Structure 1
């Protein structure tokens, strides 16, 4: 494949590569295709991911592109909090001069570029907003760009061409079958399907209401399928509302594992599903990465940055909210410099449950 954007020549004699990508689960997954591109372009190099603890929990043993993990220190704009995180000075002292090439895939560079430069790598590539210190090779950070493509454009500066657009997180058939047995769906008829749901998102404005998820769950349970609920502790209230809305006679096929699965178990749980329904959130992006078809509920602006690329496996439902329903502020101006009002209504509840139900049924027929 061709390089994305202006690109650049490969650097010579690169044996150690650092990739900076903190943030949440979705942020990590958006970087995986770029990391795979680097691994293909520099096959003799060792790639170390500078991230937070969820990175090895999700990727260790599930990708050949990352060879080592280093936990980021707490430092403004790079990592905001973390118990037992290394100190900044210890982190820099230990890693300074180790890397031949350092790659910044973490935001616009205002904080991440100075942090990366402290590592003393021979070469650096990354993004830069207008107020950011620039690296050796850089591309302007413009908010409205798909995060996967943004990361691929960065690594193209180092001569790395794409090898995939979707993130890839490997789950083998044995893991998938074992998870279905653990959930109690392994012995069901072949015609029965497992539909996973994640009724949450970090930003409350991206959350589809629990009653809409519940309508989808009831439709699939009435059709004879099993439904799996996943999420962390913040998603427990939504999951409880979904369970409460399901008739008692159908609840034996509703498997609520919210706040019960570890991050390391989540890839297998999502891979065990035949379709996954979710908001614009990390678990939905992880479902894409493990190869599970998805139906996603998105605010339209987030599709630009985070939507799935194909429609044979992944369906998208859009909410076209342009102003906060409470105060009327323009919400299309988003990103690092945007004004943020104090209100958190759902921006996506104009998406109907019926539309999602139809696409779940269609994917179950066609994938």
Structure 2
């Protein structure tokens, strides 16, 4: 059968996917998936990884990712057999490039004789040439008009939900969805660590992650503090999480929230900068509700099945918002222009340069509205989660 795009579109008949689910490739035993980026980027790709594992049950999946991905998936049951850390390479993994290390990486990857290589890392300008150097028999992925072609490609249009984009890509390789959102297995050790670190018990537990890589996605500390204080007054334990860079912000929120709660019984504290990724996974898994900006920990909370309330700029919710509303609530800021210079902030990447201003795009979201969802989820989701 021809592998031309037209022939494959006409012959797609392997079930329903996000886009066409084309014919599977034959004799696939080794699959490489290129997905760099942060924690959230990996979780966006997780439904696609699960779909590939179901479509090719006898194949071994190698994720080409970052050390953070390897740490999260190490010894964790799931679709990925191994993680190979990417070398520093323009548009794939930012950092000081080492020609020898890169050459050694490609030599090692070509020796694996991958049958299928999947690119779900951006529009393909840099990632498609990178993928082709693996020497795989078959290649699929996304492509902007100026990117080199793979064997089967999907047009890359920026504003698309990333879960669905990744599923559409693996549909090109005959993989139909088994889940629309990530489902990450939490180990018993992680659950035990989460319970120990938070003291979670009979009281509801609200976990707050106030950080975000892009400062424009950060809700003000004062708004997080209002939510934390109200939760504490209503009888919840409140724990702030984040990395080392988030620790000062988390400490400020704790101070503000304790002052606003004005109650000796208020239990508000920070674990920011003190948790390994495995411990963070455990803490998020035992939470009653997680509140956070559009960030990796919020996506991780969703992946382990914990209800979330997300703070989103409207453009980001298109790409990264949870699909359902039973467990995941979304609060949108409809900002379209920079508050400082007025530039159109909906234009991204190749269509416009980012202005230099870091003013929050989400500051107008009201704490009362966010807490209404926290209270509702706190009351209803223990029943839905079997707790």
Q: TM-score, normalised by structure 2?
A: 0.90
Q: Segments of 4+ in structure 1 off by > 4 A?
A: 82-86, 248-252
Which sections of structure 1, spanning at least 5 residues, go unmatched?
none
1:320 to 315, 334, 337: 334
* 1:153-164 equivalences in 2 (<5 Å): 153-164=168-179
Give, in whole Å, the separation in 1 of the partners of 2:99 and 2:236: 43
Q: Does 1:46 align with 2:60?
A: yes
Pairwise CA distance, 1:86: 8.1
User: C-alpha distance in 2, partners of 1:253/1:70?
Assistant: 42
Give 1:12's aligned residue: 26
Please give the residue correspondences for 1:77-156 in structure 2 after superposition, counting only pairs within 5 Å: 77-81=91-95, 87-98=101-112, 99-156=114-171
| Cα distance change on mapping 1:250 and 1:127 into 2, 3 Å | farther
Choose 121-130 or 93-102, whichever is displaced more: 93-102
Aligned length: 363
Q: Secondary structure at the match of 2:278?
A: coil
Match 2:373 to one of 355, 359, 362:
359
Task: Return the offset for 1:334.
Answer: 2.0
Residue in 1 that maps onto 2:250: 239
1:200 to 204, 211, 214: 211
Q: Aligned partners of 2:265, 2:247: CA distance in 1, in Å? A: 17
Structure 2: tracts of 5 or more residues without a match: 1-14, 382-387
8 A contact 2:240–2:272 mirrored in 1:
yes
Deviation at 1:47, TM superposition (A): 0.3
**Which piece of structure 1 moves more, 290-299 or 171-180?**
171-180
Root-mean-square deviation (CA, aligned residues, Å) is 1.8
- Residue of structure 2 aligned with 1:59, choices 73, 91, 116: 73
Q: Confirm whether residue 331 of structure 1 aligns to residue 345 of structure 2.
A: yes
- Note if contact 2:88-2:98 (Cα within 8 Å) is conserved in structure 1: no
Alignment of 1:303-318 (within 5 A): 303-318=317-332
Give 3-state SS (helix, strand or coil) of 1:264's partner: helix
TM-superposed deviation, 1:252: 6.6
Partners of 2:100 and 2:236 lie apart in 1 by 46
Using the alignment, how far apart are the partners of 1:135 and 1:203 within structure 2? Answer: 31
TM-score normalised according to structure 1 size: 0.95
